[in-house]
Amino acid sequence: MLFTRRFLNITLGLGLAFAPVGCKKKSEGETDKPADSGASAEAESSVDFVAQLEGLKGEVQAQVDTLMKPLNDGEQLVNMVGELPAKLGTLKGKAKGAVMASFKAGFEGGKVTLELDAKAAGALSAELKAEIEAILAKAVEVKTGLTALPDNVTKAVAALGEISVKVTGIATSATTQISAKLKLPLLKADVKAELQGKLDAVTSLKGEIEGMVEKAKTDVQSLPQKGTELTAKLAGSFSAAAAAK
């Protein structure tokens, strides 16, 4: 009998020692959590697709603006060069002619510093000399930009094509992810409306950007010819200024 009691005590002890860990008692207040049914799905995505597309929209406009800059600046410079002889009203004869000749030579040779003899340099105020050289520097910069237009247009068209590819990729990812969220069961009405609004914005932006890209590709094709015409016009304004009395 003593042997039997000892055997039972040992057996019970071993059973308690090796009790499964999974039988741990739940703490107070702890309950089983049901699987997420999607009722608490958030409208915010880890990626802001709308912001990405807005950024690409800005890139399209930036490509066009970069190409247009030397053209816009060139038109302004034509007027500035034409007005310059009147600003040299205090200079007479050879001194005035020397300043304007150096101005024209600088444009043709890509130099931004007036090359004047001592007499002409002495007759020109430091402020007016600085203003003339600033106009000349800008004109040389514009001339370089106009000359580079054919190559820059080619690069811009390629960049616009890359933007189109990015737009398609972003729109596809957005549609896939947002559509999947919209299918979640028990989705709250306000969350669903917000998700649908984002999906609509993505679709709208995709179409808008694709339209901008195609228009830009067409519009920029005429810019090299416009650049050639404006270069000749700018050169003519320098010649006219140099000949002014």
pLDDT for the residue numbered 49: 96
Q: How confident is the model at residue 166 (pLDDT cuts 50, 70, 90)?
A: very high
pLDDT for the residue numbered 2: 42
Asked whether 123 and 91 are in contact (CB, 8 A), the reply is: yes
pLDDT for the residue numbered 10: 40
Report which of residues 52 and 31 the model is more confident about: 52
Domain spans in the chain, listed from the N-terminal domain onward: 49-243
Provide the token pair at 74.
Answer: 């060139």
Phi, psi of 78 (to 5 degrees): -55, -45
| Cα separation, 194 vs 183, whole angstroms | 14
Residues 6+ apart with CB under 8 A from 200: none
Asked whether 52 and 145 are in contact (CB, 8 A), the reply is: no
Tens digit of pLDDT for each residue in 180-221? 999 999 999 999 999 999 999 999 999 999 999 999 999 999
Tens digit of pLDDT for each residue in 120-162? 888 888 999 999 999 999 999 999 999 999 999 999 999 999 9
Average pLDDT, the chain: 84
Asked whether 74 and 228 are in contact (CB, 8 A), the reply is: no
pLDDT for the residue numbered 46: 58
Q: What percent of the chain has pLDDT over 90?
A: 67
Is residue 7's pLDDT more than 80? no
Average pLDDT (9-24) is 43
Asked whether 108 and 116 are in contact (CB, 8 A), the reply is: no
Tens digit of pLDDT for each residue in 72-126? 999 999 999 999 888 887 777 888 888 999 999 999 999 999 998 888 888 888 9
pLDDT for the residue numbered 90: 73
Report which of residues 25 and 224 the model is more confident about: 224
